[in-house]
Amino acid sequence: MSHILTLIAPPGGLGTAQLNPVRAALAALHADLGAPAWLAPEEAVDLPFAGLAPEQALAAARQALGDAAVDAIATPAEGRRKQLLLADMDSTIVTSETLDELAAFAGLKDKIAAITKRAMNGELDFKSALRERVGMLKGLSTSALEATWQATELMPGARDLLGTMRTHGARCVLVSGGFTFFTGKVAALVGFHEHYSNTLELAGETLAGTVADPILDRDAKLATLKRIAGEMGLPLEATITVGDGANDLAMIQAAGLGVAFHAKPVVASAARAKVDFCGLRALLFAQGYTAAEITSG
C-alpha cells in the first residue's frame, strides 16, 4: 500500500466505533485497503491504503469521525521514520507561553498574552511584537526568570518523543522564538541535542527590555531546518517539524512530516498534518512507532 492513515486518540479513546466508519468512508471512495495494524491498543492504529490521494483520505476520515476526539494523519508508507526533528518550545514542548508567564511577575500577563495570541496567529509581525512585549518588561528582576521556569511544565509525551527518536538515531533540535534561558533548560531536561532561540538582554539584575539581534523568527526557523538537514545530508522529506504558531508555519510546510500541534487557526488550516486532541506521542505513532518501541527520555 502506498500510504498510511494513522488514527490516534487519547489512551482508551480508540476502538471499532471510530475505526469502522473511517474504513467504510475510504471504501466508499474506492480506496484499496490493507488490514488495520494497531500501534497501541485503544490509542493508535495504522490503516494502509492506496488508490486515493492522502488529502482525500484525510478529509473522508475527519468527516467520518465527526466530533470524536481522534486525530488523523496521512503519510506515505515509505520513509515514515524521520531522522531530524525540529520542535518549537512554547505551547509545544512545554504547555505554556514562557514570555506570557514571565509577564505575570510584572502584572502584565493579560496585556502581553493578547499580543502573543495575535502574533502567533500571524496578525502581527513577529519581530516587532517580540520587541514590544520584551520592552514592556524593562526593569523586571531577573529572579522572575527562575520563578517562571519553576512553574513551567512539559507537554504530555515530550519525554516519549525525545527519548524514542534519540534511541532510534534521530537528531533532535529545539528552535524557538522564545529565550535561551528557557530553551537551554528544556533542552537539557528532555534531551535535545541543541537549541536555538533569542537572547534577553540584561541590565545588572534586571531585564534591559531589549532582545539581542538577530531575532530568531519564522524565516530563521526554516533556515535552521534547511541548514541542519544539509549538514546531515538529508532531504527535507526525512525531517519532522512541530509547532503551533505562525512563526512555525514555514518549517511545518517544508518538512516531510510537518505537524501543527494544538495550533492557532492560521497554522492548522495550512498544515498537511495536525494534532488537536492528543499529546506528543502522536508524532511517534504518525511515524509508525509502536507502544512497545516508545522510550521515555
Residue 196 has pLDDT above 70, yes or no: yes
pLDDT of residue 121: 83
Would you state the pLDDT for residue 122?
87
pLDDT digits (tens, 9 = 90+) for 8-49: 999 999 999 999 999 999 999 999 999 999 999 999 999 999
> Per the structure block, which three cell numbers stand in for 208?
534591559
pLDDT in tens, 221-264: 999 999 999 999 999 999 999 999 999 999 999 999 999 999 99
How many angstroms separate the CA atoms of 131 and 110, rounded?
Answer: 17
The CA distance from 47 to 7, in Å, is 8
As a whole number of Å, the end-to-end CA separation of the chain is 33
Instruction: Give the percent of the chain with pLDDT over 90.
Output: 96
What sign results for the dihedral spanned by CA atoms 269, 85, 220, 148?
positive
Q: Which residue of the set 88, 160, 217, 248 is catalytic?
A: 88
Peptide bond into 214 cis (omega under 30): yes
CB 19 within 8 A of CB 7: yes
- CA gap 187, 273 in Å, rounded: 25
Banded model confidence at residue 110, pLDDT cuts 50, 70, 90: very high
Strand partners, 261: 275
Number of Cα atoms under 13 Å in the Cβ half of residue 254: 21
Q: How far apart are CA 167 and CA 191, in angstroms?
A: 11
Q: Which CATH number fits domain 1-78: 3.40.50.170, 3.30.160.100, 3.30.70.270, 3.30.70.260?
A: 3.30.70.260
CA distance linking residue 120 with residue 34, whole number of Å: 39
Residue with cell 533556515: 223
Tell me the pLDDT tens digit for each residue of 202-214. Answer: 999 999 999 999 9
Residue 219 annotated as catalytic: no
Residue 141, pLDDT above cutoff 70: yes
Query: Mapping DSSP to helix (H, G, I), strand (E, B) and coil, where does residue 129 land?
Result: helix
Predicted confidence (pLDDT) at residue 297 exceeds the cutoff of 80? no
Active site residue 90: yes
The CA dihedral of 121, 249, 222, 100, to the nearest 10 degrees, is 30
User: Distance of alpha carbon 48 from its chain centroid, rounded?
Assistant: 24
Q: Which of 90, 160, 217, 244 is catalytic?
A: 90
Q: Answer yes or no: are the C-beta atoms of 114 and 129 closer than 8 Å.
A: no
Share of the chain above pLDDT 70, in %: 100
Mean per-residue pLDDT of the chain: 96
Q: What is the CA radius of gyration of the chain?
A: 20
Q: pLDDT, tens digit, for every residue of 52-106?
A: 999 999 999 999 999 999 999 999 999 999 999 999 999 999 999 999 999 999 9
pLDDT of the residue at 296 = 84
